[in-house]
Structure 1
């Protein structure tokens, strides 16, 4: 869904060049309803420009910076040269993400969702999340807990979570660490088994986290964690190692956590 208002000065916008003149180019703003901006020839590219058409093409998708907005005269001044490659890539990805979120809204509430309902749901989500995409992504990872504080009916929350889990591809990161576990007592084998069960979480690892403990070579064990972000992954890795170490040390054993595999085991 497109915004009905106006962009703000210094905002980056996604547009499509729909007309080229000798003095500049007209850009259809893809994020706004019925809004068109003008990029003067001096703002198309750095340096002297002999022919605008050497730099842009009709129907080309561009990212522009809003220089000025005059609502009274219905004029939006744009710059293409003031957008660097990083900003361009980031803005295009953000725009694509919001297109996906727009599609997910239709999947959750029906293709014939009216503007009023869309606006109510979107505003409720945006009160808690930076973007609609972020809201759906978090719902896919954490379920109803992620949007429990959103001011929506339970049925709406359920629809969002079900749609998110069926359609959102969640990015995962992986971290690895190692624990050395030794227990010389007569019950040492059972202690190590208990420590490994503790490392695996005893069923208490969050649903969005995949944690696996594997044997490398006595006394070393590998802990691999997959999670939606590095902060979560690192905290779960450390917690897993701490649980295993605590069990072994409680039985007067020796335990140590390290990030790299021991050279002797290579």
Structure 2
């Protein structure tokens, strides 16, 4: 997606070196339609410059800072030297992300989508998210819930969510903890197995004292779709709970909820359940 307007002073832009002259460099702005800027020789690099071509090449991709915009004169003044390595790296990544989002838009709505329809959908997403990439990423993580305030019709929302779930690689964090499960009764093995099922959100876990089985009224486990949770055996009576989620808060909440389900299930059968962060079996 290219913007039809003008960049603002102080903005970082991605461009392609189109023409090199002794007095400076002309740069095509890749994020803006039919916009070209000039980077004077004094703004190409720090220090004295004998030959501009020693610092830039034709067709080279650069990140530049917009110094001034004169729309009446159709002139955009740029600086390449005023961009730090950190800023350059972040801006290039941001630009690459938007290139991906542009491709996802075509996948979601077809390559033959009109410019007007594209602009309408894109601007609606941008009214709710920092970027198109952010909109698709949130849709991949949270599904329709992330788009509940987006003013698009159901078919359009479905297309965004479906494409996001198929195309977006969501960043995840992983947290883990341990739960000790013991049950002195004769059917202790079955009780522990049921507690593990409860920890994983399995609807087949044993019924606890209050009549619940760790699932919601609709029969679901209550674990969000974007969360992956698994329980593994460490060494009796210790079991490891690992949670993968889009952010730490969600991961921590699901970890604690899993441990609570296990403890409630085993306690309902006369056993005990204790959650802890560090592994204990090696110390025994």
TM-score (norm 1): 0.92
Cα displacement (A) at 1:135: 1.3
Structure 2 unaligned regions, length at least 5? 203-220
- Structure 2 counterpart of 1:211, from 212, 217, 229: 229
Q: Does structure 1 residue 3 correspond to structure 2 residue 3?
A: yes
> For 1:67, what is the secondary structure of its paired residue?
strand
Cα displacement (A) at 1:53: 1.3
> For 2:145, what is the secondary structure of its paired residue?
helix
The equivalent residue for 2:56 is: 56
Between the aligned partners of 1:84 and 1:34, the Cα distance in structure 2 is 26
Change (3 A) 1:42 1:258: farther
The equivalent residue for 1:176 is: 176
Between the aligned partners of 1:85 and 1:236, the Cα distance in structure 2 is 38
Between the aligned partners of 1:258 and 1:93, the Cα distance in structure 2 is 39
The answer on whether the counterparts of 1:217 and 1:265 sit within 8 Å (CA) in structure 2 is: no
The answer on whether the counterparts of 1:180 and 1:256 sit within 8 Å (CA) in structure 2 is: yes
Cα displacement (A) at 1:263: 5.9
Cα displacement (A) at 1:200: 0.9
The equivalent residue for 2:21 is: 21
Q: Does structure 1 residue 257 correspond to structure 2 residue 275?
A: yes
Between the aligned partners of 2:6 and 2:222, the Cα distance in structure 1 is 48
Between the aligned partners of 1:37 and 1:233, the Cα distance in structure 2 is 46
Change (3 A) 1:88 1:41: same
Structure 1 unaligned regions, length at least 5? none
Q: Does structure 1 residue 161 correspond to structure 2 residue 149?
A: no
> For 1:3, what is the secondary structure of its paired residue?
coil
Q: How big is each residue's C-alpha offset from its partner over 1:136-180, in whole Å with a ceiling of 9 and x where there is no partner?
A: 122223322321321011111112122222222223332222112
> For 1:7, what is the secondary structure of its paired residue?
coil
Between the aligned partners of 1:82 and 1:234, the Cα distance in structure 2 is 41
TM-score (norm 2): 0.86
Cα displacement (A) at 1:25: 1.0
The equivalent residue for 1:230 is: 248
